[in-house]
């Protein structure tokens, strides 16, 4: 095993059982600066390491990739990877990304400016494996060796010095799932290059050519969504049952009889939720229903296939899956005859529908897409909602989902909303377009096979945990004061939920998490008892 | 005559190969959107990273962009390498030395030709005329400072790459060679300069190029001209041509957030591209056409 600090790109092919391990993590602020406050890192189980690829850093993200046993299987793996690389580099098979891809492959000056921007690199105290260009440079060297004249002619002199063995392929596949695709590194690159693009291209080769992708993203993700309508497995009848349940829940929580419109032809808006909200955080779609009812918005939900689930995991690993899902979402909206699709609290769904899908088809096949944020900000400004911010008189901080902020440029509306309803709002540092990823981005939030959850909780979310603790330093150790991390995105919320559970932050320090609309509903002046459950007397 | 021909060939090769490279990138198919904020052209919002997506029904509103904001941001990056300055100051000092030196040497080259034309028009640099004095001293300053900065920048970058382990492990032999090559050109130039601080040799070369007369050069000047000529041909063939790539990566990738609206240029391009049928396809099972459904018996 090689010490993380000493690792070189060429080591990726080394025939060792495990290339490296994480031996030091970034320090956390108080009260997590004391020994024993966080669970220790663990070793992978022997049976996992035998069956899957744990030979990178001991963690397994590619839970569908079983290591090849025979010589033929190993050769076939390398052959398929090379075939995928060739297609990656072709403007015939990879048209939609070829220009940004070639720029990022051709021009890196290896100045390391990107390294300091990466939350995973920082969390591992500068372990070389997680340096953003470590992965990119391996890919670059392989491309150079197998696909360029200069590489074939001059070999290692021009960096064409990584031999493709099955272990190189397997480790590179795993390494593609050590990046959240948050693109913070690209923001700092003096040449405008994008390590996130390169990480996603490796994921694409595995999925599109080799048929290998994490089960939660592919088999239980896009495939299930295309078959049943939702990656949660919620079918249309189940969805309709859930909506009925939500209406009952609204009445129980608020005393208000609110009907949630379904498949209302000619409505102005199709509101789409991440279907995970219906299962894990029903208070979020409930809050939307309450606010839209109070503001008199002419909207509907859809019970059509994929119309009730706005997720699109394809944007993390596979172009065809991304397009299939996006097109079906547009079709669902078209069938209802709505004027626009409004995306609720799901960051990647924002980007998938508004940005990624924007050029997937001609304009006549699409419906305009808008975030819920400007609309809610306008509703609040209009005074249609009678608000009493004192109901939210506890410390609140805001997590900026990368997909909404850095990748869409929506920065101010969420701040206008939260400042209108939370008197003790404080920003994280840094925030806005400079924010750090929650650590759950690009699928990590739903990848829990084997020990991958540990990588997320200990490593990829570490910087976000630090930011949360920093934001609440004035009250963190006073457990009588509730604190709220507002994360207007399902995946981010899932990652933050796991942080709070893993480190027992809610139990020990009264820190809670949730969406943005819940805070707005909690501030409604005519609401009799708090909407946020942690404010109920019996919860205190 | 060889030196004259090399000077022409290298100058035209530099321009032609750089343009060729830009054309190659420009011809690549339109890609999916990869907006990354802040995008400076977003009028009134660029400074904090906002975009038109902050507006309700943004597609019904006129698209407001600011070319001025974009140019200002571009110049900050081109002239000062601002991202490196903001994010990695220790490297900025030496990288910026090299780049500023190159910019000054571009100005110096232009001034050499201006000086040559001035002399060909009958106004000698020694005439004492204000124009000749201005050209002479600006040439002197840009050439001297530019040469010194390029030599320092390339030398210091070489040492940094060689001595700092985190840089060394990613640096290829070719990348060391690139820096040595630049340093050699700057060093030979400075050697020539020590015996001719007023850069009269430079104006002589410029005059030779303008009048198609052979360049008279001693050994060290000949080596300098040959090395510089080869460097000019070599740069566009390598990643040192990032002056081309940088334009595309910012303007055509990270800052390209033009939406696909009915009747827009983007929409037209997508319609044109819709007829493209790839001959090859990816091999994973979900990329294969679904088998025709058979009726259950």
Q: Token digits for A532?
A: 């946020």
Radius of gyration of chain B (CA): 26
In tens, the pLDDT along B101-144 reads: 999 999 999 999 999 999 999 999 999 999 999 999 999 999 99
Helix (H, G, I), strand (E, B) or coil at A510: coil
pLDDT at B290: 76
pLDDT given at position B275: 84
Question: Closest chain A residue to B288 measured between Cα atoms?
Answer: A208
From chain B, pick out residues whose CB is under 8 angstroms from the CB of A83.
283
Round to whole Å and give the CA distance between A472 and A494. 20
Quote the tokens at residue A147: 């696909």
CA dist A250 and A258 (Å) reads 7
Residues B69, A437: contact at Cβ < 8 Å?
no
Min Cα distance A472 → chain B (Å) is: 24
pLDDT at position B296 is 47
Architecture of the domain spanning B2-20+89-253: Up-down Bundle (1.20)
pLDDT at B55 over 80: yes
Sign of dihedral through CA atoms A150, A151, A153, A157? positive
**B278 or B51: which leads in pLDDT:** B51
CA distance readout (Å), A458 to A38, A58, A140, A253, A439: 9, 14, 29, 36, 10
Give tens-digit pLDDT for B156-197: 999 999 999 999 999 999 999 999 999 999 999 999 999 999
Average pLDDT per consecutive 10 residues, chain A (540 residues; last block may be shorter): 94 94 95 94 91 93 94 96 98 95 97 96 97 98 96 95 94 98 97 97 98 97 94 93 97 95 96 96 98 97 93 97 96 96 98 97 96 98 96 98 98 98 98 98 96 97 98 96 98 97 97 98 96 79
In whole angstroms, how large is the CA radius of gyration of chain A? Answer: 24
- Measured between CA atoms, how close is A114 to chain B, in angstroms? 9
What are the chain A neighbours of B24 within 8 Å (beta carbons)? none
List the beta strands (DSSP E) in chain B: none
What average pLDDT is seen over chain B?
94
- Could you state, in order of their start, the residue ranges of all structural domains in chain A? 9-209, 218-376, 384-539
CB contact at 8 A, A212 and A65:
yes
Q: What is the pLDDT of residue B293?
A: 58
Residue B297 has pLDDT above 90, yes or no: no
Residue of A nearest to B23 (CA): A99
CA A469 → CA A152, A431, A464, A532, distances in Å? 52, 14, 9, 21
Relative to beta strand A299-300, strand A269-272 is parallel
User: A218-376 in CATH: which number?
Assistant: 3.40.50.1860
> How far, in Å, CA of B115 to CA of A231, rounded?
71
Beta carbons of B29 and A99 less than 8 Å apart = yes
Distance CA A172, CA B53 (A): 36
Q: Which of residues 260-279 of A touch B (CB under 8 A)?
A: none
Residue A396 host element (H or E):
strand A396-398
What's the confidence (pLDDT) of residue B274? 85
DSSP string, B236-251: GGSGGGHHHHHHIIII
Interface contact flag, A102 B173, Cβ < 8 Å: no
How far apart CA B284 and CA A80 sit, in angstroms, is: 10
Residue B62, CA distances (Å) to A23, A401, B53 in order: 54, 27, 13
Neighbours of B179 (CB within 10 A): 22
Residue B241 has pLDDT above 80, yes or no: yes
């Amino acid at each position: 095993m090689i010490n993380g600090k000493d690792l070189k790109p060429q080591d990726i092919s080394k025939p060792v059982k495990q290339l490296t391990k994480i031996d030091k993590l970034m320090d956390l602020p108080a009260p997590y600066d004391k020994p024993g406050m966080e669970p220790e890192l663990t070793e992978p189980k022997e049976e996992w390491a035998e069956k899957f690829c744990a030979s990178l850093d001991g963690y397994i993200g590619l839970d569908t990739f079983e290591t090849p046993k025979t010589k033929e299987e190993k050769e076939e793996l390398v052959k398929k990877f090379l075939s995928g690389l060739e297609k990656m580099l072709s403007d015939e098979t990879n048209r939609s990304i070829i220009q940004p891809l070639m720029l990022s492959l051709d021009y890196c000056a290896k100045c390391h400016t990107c390294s300091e921007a990466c939350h995973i690199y920082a969390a591992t105290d500068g372990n070389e494996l997680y340096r953003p260009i470590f992965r990119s440079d391996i890919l670059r060297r392989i491309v150079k060796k197998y696909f360029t004249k200069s590489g074939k002619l001059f070999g290692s002199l021009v960096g064409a010095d990584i031999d493709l063995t099955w272990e190189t392929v397997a480790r590179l596949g795993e390494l593609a799932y050590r990046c959240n695709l948050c693109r913070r590194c690209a923001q700092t690159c003096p040449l405008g290059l994008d390590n996130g693009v390169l990480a996603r291209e490796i994921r694409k080769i595995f999925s599109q050519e080799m048929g290998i992708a994490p089960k939660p993203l592919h088999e239980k993700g896009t495939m299930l969504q295309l078959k049943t309508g939702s990656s949660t497995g919620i079918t249309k009848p189940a969805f309709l049952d859930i909506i009925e349940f939500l209406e009952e829940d609204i009445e129980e929580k608020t005393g208000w009889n609110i009907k949630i419109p379904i498949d209302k032809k000619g409505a102005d808006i199709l509101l789409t939720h991440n279907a995970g909200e219906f299962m894990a955080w029903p208070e979020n779609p409930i809050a939307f229903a309450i606010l839209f009812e109070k503001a008199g918005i002419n909207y509907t939900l859809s019970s059509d296939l994929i119309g009730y689930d706005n997720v699109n995991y394809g944007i993390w690993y596979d172009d065809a899956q991304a397009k299939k899902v996006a097109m079906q979402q547009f079709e669902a909206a078209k069938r209802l005859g709505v004027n626009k699709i409004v995306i609720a609290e799901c960051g990647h769904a924002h980007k998938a529908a508004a940005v990624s899908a924007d050029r997937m088809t001609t304009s006549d096949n699409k419906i305009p897409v808008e975030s819920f944020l400007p609309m809610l900000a306008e509703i609040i400004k209009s005074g249609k909602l009678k608000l009493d911010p004192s109901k939210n008189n506890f410390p609140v901080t805001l997590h900026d989902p990368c997909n909404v902020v850095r990748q869409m440029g929506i920065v101010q509306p969420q701040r206008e909303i939260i400042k209108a309803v939370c008197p003790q709002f404080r920003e994280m540092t840094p925030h806005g377009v400079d924010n750090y990823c929650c650590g759950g981005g690009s699928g990590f939030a739903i990848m829990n096979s084997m020990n991958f959850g540990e990588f997320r909780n200990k490593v990829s979310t570490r910087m976000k945990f630090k930011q949360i603790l920093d934001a609440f330093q004035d009250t963190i150790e006073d457990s009588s004061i509730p604190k709220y991390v507002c994360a207007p995105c399902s995946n981010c919320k899932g990652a933050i939920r796991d942080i709070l559970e893993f480190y027992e932050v809610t139990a020990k320090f009264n820190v809670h998490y949730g969406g943005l609309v819940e805070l707005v509903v909690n501030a409604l002046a005519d609401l009799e008892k708090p909407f946020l459950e942690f404010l109920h007397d019996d919860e205190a | 005559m060889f030196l004259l021909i090399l000077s022409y060939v290298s100058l035209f090769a530099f321009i032609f190969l750089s343009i060729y490279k830009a054309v190659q990138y420009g011809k690549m198919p339109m890609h999916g959107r990869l907006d990354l904020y802040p995008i400076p052209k977003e009028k009134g919002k660029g400074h904090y990273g906002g975009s038109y997506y902050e507006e309700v029904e943004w597609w019904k509103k006129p698209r407001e962009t600011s070319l001025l904001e974009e140019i200002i941001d571009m110049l900050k990056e081109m002239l000062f390498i601002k991202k490196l300055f903001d994010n990695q100051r220790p490297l900025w000092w030496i990288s910026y030395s090299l780049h500023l030196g190159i910019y000054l040497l571009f100005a110096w080259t232009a001034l050499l030709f201006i000086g040559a034309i001035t002399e060909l028009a009958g106004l000698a640099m020694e005439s004492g005329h204000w124009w000749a004095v201005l050209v002479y001293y600006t040439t002197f300053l840009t050439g001297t400072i530019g040469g010194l900065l390029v030599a320092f920048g390339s030398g210091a970058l070489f040492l940094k790459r060689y001595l700092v382990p985190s840089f060394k492990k990613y640096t290829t032999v070719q990348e060391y060679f690139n820096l040595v090559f630049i340093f050699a050109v700057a060093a030979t130039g400075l050697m020539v300069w020590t015996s001719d601080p007023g850069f009269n040799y430079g104006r002589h070369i410029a005059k030779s190029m303008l009048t198609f007369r052979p360049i008279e050069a001693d050994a060290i000047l000949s080596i300098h001209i040959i090395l510089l000529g080869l460097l000019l041909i070599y740069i566009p063939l390598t990643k040192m041509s990032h002056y081309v790539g940088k334009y595309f990566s910012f303007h055509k990738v990270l800052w390209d957030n033009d939406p696909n609206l009915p009747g827009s240029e983007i929409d037209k391009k997508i319609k044109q591209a819709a007829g493209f049928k790839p001959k090859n396809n990816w091999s994973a099972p979900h990329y294969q056409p679904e088998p025709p459904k058979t009726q259950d018996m």
